[in-house]
Amino acid sequence: MKNIDILYEDADCVVLNKPAGLAVQGGDRITTSLDDLLAQEWQQRPFLVHRLDKDTSGLILVAKTKDAARYYSSVIGGKKAEKIYVALCNKRIEPLKGEIDDPLEIRGTEKRALTFYKTLAYSEHFSLLELRLGSGRMHQIRRHLALVGNPILGDDKYGDFALNRFLKKERAVKKLMLHAWKLHFPSRIAQKTITVSAPLPEYFHAFVHEEFGDIIM
């Protein structure tokens, strides 16, 4: 598929590097979605077993059959898979490594939410964080980082809007700087744990290089 790299594939599933701005599933006012593109490619509807925000780039696993969908839904729902994200955030987060254990309101009810983070690099004004989910609430990473005062750059829903305007003009930051970076999951076919990583989008990599220099990720 044009502009969507396949990073892993077997008879059960495919792991794709979704670009920012592409919705995973169709709906009102969505003209193009990942499931529609896959349906055209495969001549059948794909089986979505987890989601990524439209504005988040990076790894998403899609099942090819109903049996595979049942298996991978249980793997991801049962936390047998590990998803690792990276984000560019405002300011230096304190402490540099830890967890955010703050409840989030979901449909009018507060639900426990847990996010683990580690600082990969920081400068005077920005941080590059590695993040892992201890729960799976809607927009969890974006909301948690905003709550602790380190919103993700380019976040037009929970972010620092004045900073976003400045960065759009001065640093060409036009997209959400959140990327689903790595995925570890037990493959039913290969009978082993598969590890897939998605390279940073060019705009994300350029900002990291300019702000932090050459760092090993």
User: Which residues are catalytic, by number?
Assistant: 53
Contact 183, 61 (CB under 8 A): yes
Contact 21, 32 (CB under 8 A): no
Q: Which of 182, 171, 175 minimizes the C-alpha distance to 155?
A: 175
- C-alpha to C-alpha distance for 96 and 143, rounded to whole angstroms: 18
- C-alpha to C-alpha distance for 41 and 138, rounded to whole angstroms: 29
* Helix H or strand E segment including 211: helix 202-212
39, two tokens: 């349906």
What are the Cα distances from residue 70, in Å, to 36, 187, 195?
Answer: 21, 13, 20
Q: Count of CB atoms within 10 A of residue 103's CB?
A: 13
* Helix H or strand E segment including 38: helix 34-42
Q: What is the 3-state secondary structure (H, E, C) of 60-90?
A: EEEECCHHHHHHHHHHHHCCCCEEEEEEEEE
